[in-house]
């Protein structure tokens, strides 16, 4: 069986979770080759096993190198290990273990490593991962590395997920679409959003940016918007530093869009220091999809 057929078989088991992004009708897997909706809109499985469900063309300039670097930082350097542990703890505490199917969507999953690590840490066989990202390069890499989850190229504003199909949505250092998140989450479903705090990757930012640009910022507005959409159950602040070596610092620069416009001299100097402590400083917002009075 090819990778493509194996993925199609996996998707067949969870096809009720998906819906056509063009007409919102249910989909079915046809001949282990494509997803087809009631109106015959067709989305083919790629040979790596993902499905492209974008309904418009995009020009994402996030390239292969960025995702390779990100994969190295997450999987090899373990820079986010405490984040993964915390999120899996939150999920395990909030999910009913007797529920025989729990879908965890990573909205804006990039190359999929955060989702994979979190699923590994959860150690629960009833959890199934779905990764969604607008970047084909990211999803292609995710599908090549991680065979147990479903990988979809798609639009967060019009995601190919059915209404009330997900028990958990992860949104890690990535833009959100709360309207669509509320649609696809089950009632009382969990949303875990991770946002940077002012010291996040400060060593990188200090090296590559003018000091005058630097200012402390707070996540008040983000939290306030989040609270307008979900019941805020908890906020965790996670702050720690890890030492990265030269190769890891190179990867860190490559995975950071904020570094792309920096001067080459500044980048070289940052990388050539050999070792550096790198600070991870994040807020983890945990929300519950409460039905508001108006929805009842
Ligand atoms: Zn359709």
Number of domains present in the structure of the chain: 1
User: What tens digit of pLDDT does each residue of 136-151 get?
Assistant: 999 999 999 999 999 9
CA of 107 to the centre of ligand 1 (A): 21
Q: How far apart are CA 195 and CA 176, in angstroms?
A: 11
- Is 16 a domain residue? no
The residue written with tokens 């990535």 in the block is: 174
CA of 24 to the centre of ligand 1 (A): 6
- Is 234 a domain residue? yes
- Is 213 a domain residue? yes
CA of 22 to the centre of ligand 1 (A): 5
- Is 182 a domain residue? yes
Kindly state the average pLDDT of the residues 160-188.
Answer: 97
Does residue 191 surpass a pLDDT of 90? yes
CA of 255 to the centre of ligand 1 (A): 35
Encoding tokens for residue 211?
Answer: 């000091």
To the question of whether residue 122 is assigned a binding role by annotation, the answer is no
pLDDT band at 212 (very low <50, low <70, confident <90, very high): very low
- Is 129 a domain residue? yes
CA of 55 to the centre of ligand 1 (A): 11
Query: Strand pairing partners for 195?
Result: 283
Q: Which long-range contacts (CB under 8 A, 24 or more apart) does 219-227 make?
A: 219/195, 219/283, 222/195, 222/283, 222/285, 223/283, 223/285, 225/178, 226/178, 226/193, 226/285, 226/287, 227/287
Per-residue pLDDT at 213: 52
Chain centroid offset of residue 250 CA: 22
Nearest to 83 by CA among 53, 114, 128, 38: 114
Q: Which of 25-39, 204-218, 273-287 has the lowest mean pLDDT?
A: 204-218
CA of 127 to the centre of ligand 1 (A): 27
- Full residue range of the structural domain in which residue 145 is found: 47-295
CA of 29 to the centre of ligand 1 (A): 13
CATH code: domain of residue 147 = 3.40.50.150
Cβ atoms < 10 Å from Cβ of 284: 18
The residue written with tokens 């009833």 in the block is: 126
- Is 8 a domain residue? no
CA of 136 to the centre of ligand 1 (A): 21
Per-residue pLDDT at 102: 96
Cβ atoms < 10 Å from Cβ of 108: 21
Spatial neighbors of 155 by CB under 8 A, at least 6 apart, are: 21, 54, 55, 56, 134
- Give the 3-state secondary structure of residue 281: strand
CA-based end-to-end distance of the chain: 47
- Is 230 a domain residue? yes
Q: Which of 143-152, 190-199, 286-295 has the lowest mean pLDDT?
A: 286-295
Does residue 216 surpass a pLDDT of 70? no
Identify which has the larger pLDDT, 49 or 220.
Answer: 49
Instruction: Using the Cα atoms of residue 179, residue 201, residue 241 and residue 117 in order, give the sign of their dihedral.
Output: positive
CA of 39 to the centre of ligand 1 (A): 5
To the question of whether residue 108 is assigned a binding role by annotation, the answer is no
CA of 35 to the centre of ligand 1 (A): 10
Q: Which long-range contacts (CB under 8 A, 24 or more apart) does 216-219 make?
A: 219/195, 219/283
User: What tens digit of pLDDT does each residue of 24-72 get?
Assistant: 999 999 999 999 999 999 999 999 999 999 988 876 667 888 999 999 9
To the question of whether residue 80 is assigned a binding role by annotation, the answer is yes
Does residue 292 surpass a pLDDT of 70? no
Per-residue pLDDT at 131: 98
To the question of whether residue 23 is assigned a binding role by annotation, the answer is yes
To the question of whether residue 217 is assigned a binding role by annotation, the answer is no
Q: How far apart are CA 169 and CA 167, in angstroms?
A: 7
User: What tens digit of pLDDT does each residue of 225-241 get?
Assistant: 999 999 999 999 999 99
- Compute the C-alpha angle 73/79/84, nearest 5°: 110
- Is 73 a domain residue? yes
Per-residue pLDDT at 25: 97
CA of 221 to the centre of ligand 1 (A): 37
Encoding tokens for residue 140?
Answer: 């292609």
To the question of whether residue 166 is assigned a binding role by annotation, the answer is no
CA of 26 to the centre of ligand 1 (A): 8
Does residue 296 surpass a pLDDT of 80? no
To the question of whether residue 37 is assigned a binding role by annotation, the answer is yes
Kindly state the average pLDDT of the residues 118-140.
Answer: 95
Q: What is the CA radius of gyration of the chain?
A: 19
Kindly state the average pLDDT of the residues 246-267.
Answer: 90
pLDDT band at 293 (very low <50, low <70, confident <90, very high): low
Across the chain, what does the average pLDDT equal?
A: 92
The residue written with tokens 């309207």 in the block is: 179
CB 271 within 8 A of CB 229: no
CA of 85 to the centre of ligand 1 (A): 38
């Amino acid at each position: 069986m090819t990778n493509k057929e194996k993925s199609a078989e996996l998707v067949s088991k969870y096809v009720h979770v998906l819906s056509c992004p063009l007409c919102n009708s249910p989909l079915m897997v046809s001949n282990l080759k494509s997803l087809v909706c009631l109106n015959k809109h067709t989305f083919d499985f790629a040979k790596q096993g993902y499905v492209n469900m974008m309904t418009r063309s995009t020009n994402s300039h996030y390239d292969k190198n960025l995702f390779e670097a990100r994969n190295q930082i997450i999987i090899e350097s373990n820079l986010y290990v405490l984040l993964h542990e915390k999120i899996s703890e939150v999920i395990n505490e909030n999910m009913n273990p007797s529920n025989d199917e729990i879908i965890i969507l990573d909205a804006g999953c990039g190359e999929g490593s955060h989702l994979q690590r979190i699923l590994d840490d959860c150690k629960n066989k009833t959890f199934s991962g779905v990764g969604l990202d607008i970047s084909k390069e990211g999803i292609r890499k995710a599908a090549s590395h991680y065979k147990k989850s479903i990988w979809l190229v798609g639009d967060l504003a019009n995601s190919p997920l059915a209404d009330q199909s997900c028990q958990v949505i992860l949104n890690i250092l990535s833009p959100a679409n709360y309207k669509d998140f509320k649609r696809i989450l089950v009632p009382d479903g969990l949303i875990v959003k991770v946002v940077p705090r002012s010291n996040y990757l400060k060593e990188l930012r200090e090296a590559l940016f003018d000091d005058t640009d630097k200012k402390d910022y707070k996540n008040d507005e983000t939290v306030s918007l989040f609270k307008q959409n979900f019941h805020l159950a908890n906020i965790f602040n996670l702050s720690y530093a890890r030492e990265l070596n030269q190769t890891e610092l190179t990867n860190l620069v490559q995975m950071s869009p904020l570094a792309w416009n920096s001067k080459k001299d500044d980048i070289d100097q940052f990388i050539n220091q050999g070792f550096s402590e790198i600070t991870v400083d994040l807020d983890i917002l945990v929300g519950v999809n409460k039905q508001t009075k108006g929805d009842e």
